[in-house]
Amino acid sequence: MQINETLFREGQQALNPKYKDRGVVFSRNEQLGYAERIARAGVHYIEIGAPVRSPYGLETAKQLVELTRSTPNTQIAVHGRATTEDIDAFLATGATRLHLFRGTSNENRNGNGNISIEQIITDTIRAIEYARSKRDGLFIRFGAEDAFRTPIEDLEKVIIALAPYVDLFSLPDTTGRAIPSPELKLEIQQLSVYEIVEYIRELSGRGIQFHGHNDSGLALPNYLAALAAGAEVFDTSVYHLGERNGIPSAKDLILALRTKNNAQLIKLLYNLDELHRLDQDVAAKFGQELPPNDLYGQNVTTDTSGVHAAATLNHHLAYDANGYDRERQIIFASAVTGKAAVAYRASQLGIIPPAADIRQNAELKNRVMERALEAAMRIQETAKIQGDISPNEADEIIKVSFQGFN
């Protein structure tokens, strides 16, 4: 599996999260800084838009290409249309990986000048031949934009005609309405990611790239379906930035794929902490914080309810199927605090013996739990009455409840 990070291409098509009346822009310095970190985190390709008629953009692109000369596992890919203008801009950057795209669905073709499928094929072949005549050793990919709303006969025509000319096909779910697998069809004519990826891979004999927008909240399941069907390259964008509600970040994709069995391998290949920091830093550029329920946020390793906290204190993986490599946090100031969390906190505060000692002494344990239950109930009640409770208030309740305990 390889990751194609599209922050500087798809990401710059996003609405600016801070001002909401303008687009996202990354300066040259920001791009160089982020690119270096993206490469270090284990990402394979960084996609940029073809710098057409932009001397400044061209210089930025050249510097990005230059930067990736010292990152052997990461290359710059240039995204562009099948026009001489875009191909020339691509060639000028010095990059060797070209990501061509063209809308193939009826909706998309209607919106883009009613171009025919035949015309798309002719233009693309001409552009590829032109690019290859100018430089050897190019890696060329074609993306059938809006692939999942493209009638299958049209998609077949494009794929069969272009297969001899390209190294890779991308199947983007541009409008985010694809479903992962055929059993999940809501309408007869809906095409699932699994079916299309598998079919086009076999038909073309080429590798498949997948790019899934999250309009229906199905982006990650769709990525998993594409992987299961044999896709090899997956598009991501830091902080999900992209048209509308964007595409998954590399961190989210990796977390969706991570299991107990492959966690070690993933750790070797990717730096999740760095990918998380990238999400955080790009969010911060727009004055935002990652949402509290971010897939790698603080919340995912906390336990709050009495049942959860008690189980986690007994076994640290009781509520962790993801193998997060960090210490879990027990929340003891809440409306659902239980006695185990309170006892744990009381030990931390030093007002009762350490947990290990209590565990070995049944009589002591009973007495601790009696008081802890009383404290937990008072914490819950206070939280409900006030509509909130701070850790300090909970600590006070715990201290009072254990007064005179020995």
Is 201 or 211 the residue whose CB approaches ligand HCA more closely?
A: 211
Binding of ligand HCA by 86 (CB under 6 A): no
Is 82 or 333 the residue whose CB approaches ligand HCA more closely?
A: 82
Is 4 or 60 the residue whose CB approaches ligand HCA more closely?
A: 4
Binding of ligand HCA by 174 (CB under 6 A): yes
Q: Considering only residues 281-310, where is the footprint of Cu ion by CB under 5 A?
A: none
Fill in the per-residue mask, 293 to 332: x = in contact with ligand HCA (CB under 6 A), - = not in contact: ----------------------------------------
Binding of ligand HCA by 281 (CB under 6 A): no
Q: Considering only residues 1-40, where is the footprint of Cu ion by CB under 5 A?
A: 10
Is 106 or 329 the residue whose CB approaches ligand HCA more closely?
A: 106
- State how far Cα 11 lies from the chain centre: 13
DSSP 23: B
CB of 45 to Cu ion, least distance (A): 15
Which backbone phi and psi does 341 adopt, to 5 degrees? -65, -40
Binding of ligand HCA by 211 (CB under 6 A): yes
Euclidean distance between CA atoms 112 and 361, whole angstroms:
76
Beta strands in 256-403 (DSSP E): 302-303, 329-330
Binding of ligand HCA by 401 (CB under 6 A): no
Is 99 or 371 the residue whose CB approaches ligand HCA more closely?
A: 99
Q: Which of Cu ion, ligand HCA, none has residue 101 at its interface (CB below 5 to 8 Å by kind)?
A: ligand HCA
Q: What own/partner pairs with CB < 8 Å and gap ≥ 24 does 83-87 have?
A: 83/123, 83/127, 84/127, 84/130, 85/52, 85/53, 86/50, 86/52, 86/127, 87/127, 87/130, 87/131, 87/134
Cα Rg for the chain, rounded, in angstroms?
27
From the number of C-beta atoms within 10 Å of its C-beta (0-12, 13-18, 19+), residue 98 rates as buried
Q: Report yes or no: 238 and 282 within 8 Å, Cβ to Cβ.
A: yes
CB of 170 to ligand HCA, least distance (A): 4
Cross-strand bridge partners of residue 171 = 210
Look-up of token digits 């050249």: 62
Sole binder of ligand HCA in the list 75, 104, 150, 170 (CB under 6 A) = 170
Angle between helices 152-162 and 117-134 (to 10 degrees): 20
Sole binder of ligand HCA in the list 10, 86, 198, 279 (CB under 6 A) = 10
Is 101 or 239 the residue whose CB approaches ligand HCA more closely?
A: 101
SS3 (DSSP) at 115:
coil
Interface residues toward ligand HCA, by CB under 6 A: 10, 13, 79, 99, 101, 143, 145, 170, 172, 174, 211, 213, 243
Which residues lie near Cu ion (CB under 5 A)?
Answer: 10
